[in-house]
Structure 1
């Protein structure tokens, strides 16, 4: 597929049209029900006000494979976010976008298996396979691992909401908001062998994640920390006891640092967070608001 070329000068600021927000700020709420808890938390975070003036919102769940939660983002959480947006920002275009990593099937299989196809039909919203979406090519002089990248143009045309799951990761330490952006990387540019559609990210994974977020970091993150995976991202034990929390914020570095704390990890030991701190967000001090 032909790509358009664009240049970024300096660091891309996804919140460029929004008023300044506190770095390090996170909002935390216990889960009672998806609908009530998500609505309460997003209201407290002021998401409706931040959506004002935007034509499109892109929801980016973690649907890395067609595995049930807590490996993937629960469709009920995503549905609650959709319902909130449709109620608070009527008329805004909503797209659910993901690019799965399996070599055995593509993203529509994940959408169908995990309930997202039914959700989209019921709410009259769009599904987009980011593995095959139209691309632009972007360059960034500060990036070492990816001095240029091919990324879906929709990322830069939408208010981007990341919907990750609380999980440890065998290579990256954790997979939270920042790493969730890897689903947007198109396989035709980032497969490069291996047993995964984005295997090029496995080389220098922390630099790769950090560079990707330099091109496009989420405008807002809602982290599902209701269950959590303690040791790995596709297998192994869940958190015991379950945290039963939802965490959100406009600073993905802060949300990820808070998520590390829930998992009993020090964010300073996670390479991409240590690198991103002070540039793409603030991991310390955190400013938590328990809602």
Structure 2
């Protein structure tokens, strides 16, 4: 888990297709990568770190598939260890609401996976400090205390990202940090901060979920990419470079991968499983300078904001809750028949008012289930290029 493991001459990256099912493919790719016993090595706890950035399920390419998490949990238990899920969504999303939308509680209960709810705002009780040697910008950050004794299994999704270009193994571990540290990463420079973070955190296993990925304006509202592939390995940079090959992305076009290659060197790995070649050439998000600046500005503004705001409230969450910015559903009164399908589709209370035909931006988590369910095409989504307008 901590930065004590080095890449050896037997550094393996395993690739397999999921045509026979994600669970079957997951068991296979774990075996190809060396087996779960070589990952657990006598530990009693294995942290499962999926990508649950928001309430958009795996069929959209936004989040890690339940089938992959289930197979990994089975492998962990077979080695005598306890699988523990630890993940906090993006700062602008509420953890409990996200878990509700995705059905995390039910899934974990059915599959005997413990949920670790660390305090997302930090604090000594839940967190330990890391100061990785060689870090250039993110010189100090925190990880859950439990990771001192646990193995870390990183389960990212193969998808694009409007801020970082692409999000794979190296970026995904960011979701295990408390929100103040994530704020620092955005403020100091996300590319270098991702590299610095990976100097301190080295997952014991990465399995990138490319069963369904996301192209274009990811990580939430891009185009679904039916890739049907899993990629596994110990070294995060090796795995990410292999993923780039599958989707035709030049890693030097991705800031944190370019910096990692410059500062860590290009790793060598041995391919196991299938040599599948190019599956789909990804379209990277348009890097709009104004958008990137406004997005970055929210984080330094959050420092003074957090001094006066209620604990757990951040500038970006308050800004999004106004309904003035970001992706947000809107009901077309002329098309709406008041059928109530949107209300039934929404897993959260007090979001849609059928009397006023308004969507409450303070409670809406922008999962777009209402938009996708509406039989009358009466819901459009501002800030979402793929939606009906």
TM-score after normalising by structure 1: 0.82
Gaps of 5+ in 1: 1-11, 191-197
1:68 to 2:57 alignment: yes
Report the CA distance shift for 1:143/1:265 in structure 2 as closer, same or farther (over 3 A). same
Residue in 1 that maps onto 2:214: 229
Residue in 2 that maps onto 1:8: none
Q: Which runs of structure 2 are paired with 1:1-291 in the superposition (5 Å)?
A: 13-15=3-5, 20=8, 22-23=10-11, 25-31=12-18, 32-50=20-38, 51-69=40-58, 70-87=61-78, 89-90=79-80, 92-106=81-95, 108-130=96-118, 131=120, 134-187=126-179, 189-190=180-181, 198-203=182-187, 204-231=189-216, 232-239=218-225, 242-277=226-261, 282-283=266-267, 285-291=268-274
Distance 1:74 1:14 in 2: 30
Structure 1 residue 182 displacement after superposition:
0.9
Contact 2:138 2:184 in 1 (8 A): no
Deviations 1:86-130 (A, max 9, x none): 23x13x121111011143412x33233223211221232211134
Structure 1 residue 154 displacement after superposition:
2.3
Structure 1 residue 34 displacement after superposition:
2.1
Contact 2:138 2:185 in 1 (8 A): no
Q: Which has the higher contact order (CA 8 A, sep 6+)?
A: 1
Secondary structure of 2:36's counterpart equals helix
Structure 1 residue 259 displacement after superposition:
1.4
Distance 1:237 1:83 in 2: 31
Distance 1:112 1:80 in 2: 22
Contact 1:166 1:175 in 2 (8 A): yes
Q: Which has the higher strand share?
A: 1
Distance 1:220 1:279 in 2: 22
Q: Alignment RMSD, CA only?
A: 2.3
Report the CA distance shift for 1:182/1:35 in structure 2 as closer, same or farther (over 3 A). same
- Number of residue equivalences: 263
TM-score after normalising by structure 2: 0.63
Secondary structure of 1:103's counterpart equals coil
